[in-house]
Amino acid sequence: MTDEKKDATMRTEEYKLEAVSELRFEVETGSDASVQLDLLEGMAEVFGAELTKGRQITFEEGAKVAVFTWHEVLLLACLDLSHLAGKTEVAYIAKETPMVMYINTHAALEQMRQKAEKEKTRGPRVMVVGPTDVGKSTLCRLLLNYAARLGRAPIFVDLDVGQGDISIPGTLGSIVVERPSDIEEGYNLNAPVVFHFGSSSPSHNTQLFKLLVSKMADTVNQKCDQSKKCCSSGVIINTGGWVRGAGYDMLKHIAGCFEVDVIIVLDQERLYNELKRDMPDFVEVLLLPKSGGVVERNSSVRADDRDLKVREYFYGLRKDNKDSFYPHPLHISFNDVKIYKIGAPALPDSCLPLGMKSQDNMLKLVPVSPSNGLLHHVLSISMATSMEDNILESNILGHVVITGVDMEKQMFTALSPSAVTPPRNIWLMSEIQFMDID
């Protein structure tokens, strides 16, 4: 693209933000679209992470962003001037925002942390729930960032296997958040705990999901036992948008496993009233509105978001139209790895061994024979070293994508973040697929 054509497609605008207002914008979807944001005057933040003067922030295609500024009493600033350059689908200033309610929620959680620190007990264990597209992930990020800015180290548990922020789709993860997430790059993923689920919805294998939730709760409790700071800082749990029927039962299971004492319901009174009715008395259930900037996504957009998440795992964030990472093709013999999927086809109880139930099949490891059916599937590399290990509950080292199967030579070609052959040979097959066209 020539400079003249590039200039013709770009626009530069200045936005003045009053106190307690926010600039909302969506970056245009399409090839190489991006928006550059500069803070010129005052103080502002993006989902609880502070903008810095002199540092240009780039948001890539599909990003939904809200730049917020507080009253001067809170942040010693009453006016923000932000400079926006690039291609946007939507850009407007909103004066009605739920941020005051969100900061009040943070303040209440901080009081609970202070009490826990003083009494040497657990800090707040918060579960954020609600249907799809109400801003659960954003609220979690905001609460985590505010806590980290005060020197806390809360544990973030992401149980949204379809649109999670810690690892790729089809996984559950947790991290300790010791500093605010980077506005461009997200959370610092140092030493995450990640479990393989293998699908984008808990409904595909509820038995496995419940098992992994229980295991994740155990790992969180162990971390709290090891770290007084994490213990008093508490836990923030993000959940998926499945809230009806078996999905509601799953929320109750999560609450019980993690012993949550605060549940934040976003934008659904029915769910709020059901949880108020069913939760123990010690659980505080709050109803908060969603932000007006939340964007509804159809199934196609969700699939694109999942694909982008997998791509970022291998190639990193695009900056200046260039990838941050450079993955490698690995050539691996069929004999060097053992591939399994979790869950066997359901059979009538009458066809099963005595005492065995059909749901038990959903926790069974099924060997996968090498074939072209593996093409484009994401595979998780288990930390397990043998079949004697508890493979289902083992942490994940990383992921590869099968990009080629040579039946004649008995070889796989796998896209890997590293040029080194993975140190473990037990790989778990996911329903998530990724077409590597780079």
88 is in an annotated binding site: no
* pLDDT per position as a tens digit, 396-410: 999 999 999 999 999
Query: Pick from 81, 97, 113: which residue ends a domain?
Result: 97
At 379-397, the pLDDT tens digits run: 999 999 998 899 999 999 9
Mean pLDDT of the 18-43 span: 81
Tell me, yes or no, whether 379 and 427 share the same domain. Answer: yes
What type of residue is 248? Y
Are 426 and 338 members of one domain? yes
Quickly count: other Cβ atoms within 10 Å of residue 300's Cβ: 8
With a cut of 50, say whether residue 78 has pLDDT above it.
no
Is residue 33 over pLDDT 80? no
| Residue 337 annotated as binding site | no
- Statement to judge: residues 281 and 147 lie in one domain: yes
Q: pLDDT grade, residue 62 (50/70/90)? A: confident
Record the tokens describing residue 297, joined without a space. Answer: 């996504």
Q: What would the pLDDT profile of 102-121 be if each residue is shown by its tens digit? A: 999 999 999 999 999 999 99
Q: Is 138 annotated as a binding residue?
A: yes
pLDDT in the model for residue 205? 96
Give me the percent of the chain exceeding a pLDDT of 90.
Answer: 69
Q: Is 343 inside a domain boundary?
A: yes
In this structure, are 202 and 151 located in the same domain?
Answer: yes
Does position 283 have pLDDT exceeding 60, yes or no?
yes
Tokens 């099963």 label which residue? Answer: 352
Tell me which amino acid residue 316 is: G
pLDDT at 86: 66
Annotated ligand binding at 324? The verdict is no
Q: What sign results for the dihedral spanned by CA atoms 349, 355, 360, 365? A: negative
At 200 the pLDDT is 97
Cβ-contact 378, 168 below 8 angstroms: yes
Q: Average pLDDT, stretch 17-30? A: 83
Establish whether 135 is an annotated binding residue.
yes
Q: What is the tens place of the pLDDT at every residue in 199-255?
A: 999 999 999 999 999 999 999 999 999 999 999 999 999 999 999 999 999 999 999
Domain end marker among 288, 311, 342:
288
What would the DSSP string read from start to end of 371-403? Answer: SGGGTTEEEEEES--STTS-GGG--EEEEEEEE
Residues 155-160, mean pLDDT to the nearest whole number: 99
- What pLDDT is recorded for position 16? 84
Q: How far apart are the first and last CA of the chain?
A: 20
Say how far apart CA 127 and CA 129 lie, in whole Å: 6
Residues 91 and 151 grouped into a single domain: no
- pLDDT confidence tier of residue 170, bands split at 50, 70 and 90: very high
What is the pLDDT averaged over residues 362-379?
A: 96
Domains in the chain, number = 3
**Domain annotation covers residue 81:** yes
- Considering the domain architecture, whether residues 261 and 367 belong to the same structural domain is answered as no
Of 52, 72, 97, the residue at which a domain comes to its end is 97
User: Which residues are bridge partners to 3 per DSSP?
Assistant: none
| 239 is annotated as contributing to ligand binding | no
pLDDT at 60: 81
% of the chain with per-residue pLDDT over 70:
87
Position 124 pLDDT exceeds 90: yes
pLDDT at 3 over 60: no
Determine whether the annotation assigns residue 241 to a binding site. Answer: no
For position 11, what pLDDT does the model report?
A: 67
Give me the amino acid identity at 328.
Answer: H
Distance (Å) of CA 171 to CA 94, 242, 435: 35, 16, 19
**Whether 210 and 135 share a structural domain:** yes
Mean pLDDT of the chain: 89
Question: 373 among the known binding-site residues?
Answer: no
Same domain, 74 and 164: no
Position 139 pLDDT exceeds 90: yes
For residue 319, the 8-state DSSP code is B
**Are 227 and 191 within one domain?**
yes
63 and 178 assigned to the same domain: no
pLDDT range class, residue 160, cuts 50, 70, 90:
very high
Over residues 123-145, mean pLDDT: 98
Give the tens place of pLDDT for each residue, 221-235. Answer: 999 999 999 999 999
pLDDT, one tens digit per residue, over 305-348 is 999 899 999 998 876 556 788 999 999 999 999 999 999 876 66
Side-chain half-sphere CA neighbours of 195 within 13 A: 26
What was the pLDDT predicted at 55? 84
DSSP conformation letters of 31-64: TT-EEEEEEEES--EETTEEP-TT--EEEETT-E
* Same domain (yes/no): 211, 171: yes
Could you tell me the CATH number of the domain that includes residue 92?
2.60.120.1030
Mean pLDDT of 122-142: 98
Query: Is residue 267 in some structural domain?
Result: yes
**Among 50-54, 124-128, 362-366, which is the least confidently predicted range?**
50-54
Q: In the chain, helix, strand, coil percent, each to 5?
A: 30, 30, 40
In a domain, 198, yes or no: yes
Give the pLDDT band of residue 42 (cuts 50, 70, 90). confident
- 107 and 93 in a single domain? The answer is no
Is the pLDDT score of 90 beyond 80?
no
Which domain range does residue 27 map to?
3-97
Q: Is the pLDDT of residue 77 over 50?
A: no
Helix 136-149 to helix 99-119 angle (10° resolution) is 50
